[in-house]
Chains A and B, each alone.
Chain A
Amino acid sequence: QKEVEQDPGPLSVPEGAIVSLNCTYSNSAFQYFMWYRQYSRKGPELLMYTYSSGNKEDGRFTAQVDKSSKYISLFIRDSQPSDSATYLCACMEYGNKLVFGAGTILRVKS
């Protein structure tokens, strides 16, 4: 079993839709949770970063962590065609390596 599980999609939505991306993890020692966006043939770009359980909002993006169920989510409001990319969740113990999910391919249709 992988430490971080993520549905690879693809997920196709119309422009303006609310997008929900999710991951589950198995390692209780993970304390930090990130979401990266990766465009084709580019490096991952850090979108959101949260510590422990709770919500964090940044513009159209909301990251949610539920440590009791080992579940992390990213919500995108008013999705745009420019949001079309692969979204990677990542988990980390302090000072340690990032453990990534497989990535979810998102396509926003105009």
Chain B
Amino acid sequence: DAGVTQSPTHLIKTRGQQVTLRCSPISGHKSVSWYQQVLGQGPQFIFQYYEKEERGRGNFPDRFSARQFPNYSSELNVNALLLGDSALYLCASSLPQSTEAFFGQGTRLTVV
């Protein structure tokens, strides 16, 4: 069975640019969450989506946005990139009514 898949795996962007990261959840999982993991720290919650609706938002600026599609895949968009946005961006999916979250391999974003 395919796990959570994220694309691209690595990305280098310049300050001020915009980036879109993609996530496909495990089959049957309807909830998708996004996390940012800065080197040496634990993941920090950015967004949670369930049935295409935003169910939670972490303490991140409005430059960060996301959406979930009818097939439950999701995109995370970050505008006006800053050097501090350099991190591993993780997507997690879970079954309805379940608290067990399964993570993808992440997208490593480097802003130069």
Chain A positions near chain B (C-beta within 8 angstroms):
4, 6, 8, 32, 34, 36, 41-46, 49, 88, 90, 92, 94-103
Contact = CB atoms under 8 A, between A and B. Distances in A.
A107 to B, nearest CB: 16
Given A44-B90, A97-B33, A88 B43 contact: yes
Given A41-B108, A97-B58, A46 B43 contact: no
Interface in B7-62: 33, 35, 40-45, 48, 55-56, 58
A98 B43 CA distance: 9
What bracket does the count of chain B residues touching chain A fall in?
20 to 34
Interface of B: 4, 33, 35, 40-45, 48, 55-56, 58, 90, 92, 99-106, 108
B90 A43 contact: yes
Given A34-B101, A95-B99, A97-B33, 13 more contacts: A4-B42, A6-B42, A32-B99, A43-B4, A92-B99, A94-B99, A96-B56, A97-B45, A98-B33, A98-B43, A99-B45, A100-B42, A101-B42
A92 B45 CA distance: 11
Given A32-B99, A46-B100, A92-B99, A100 B44 contact: yes
A70 B33 CA distance: 26
Given A97-B33, A97-B58, A49 B44 contact: no
B22 to A, nearest CB: 15
Contacts of A101: 42
24 contacts: A4-B42, A6-B42, A32-B99, A34-B101, A41-B108, A42-B105, A42-B106, A46-B101, A46-B102, A46-B103, A49-B100, A88-B43, A95-B99, A97-B48, A97-B56, A98-B33, A98-B35, A98-B45, A99-B45, A100-B43, A101-B42, A102-B41, A103-B41, A103-B42
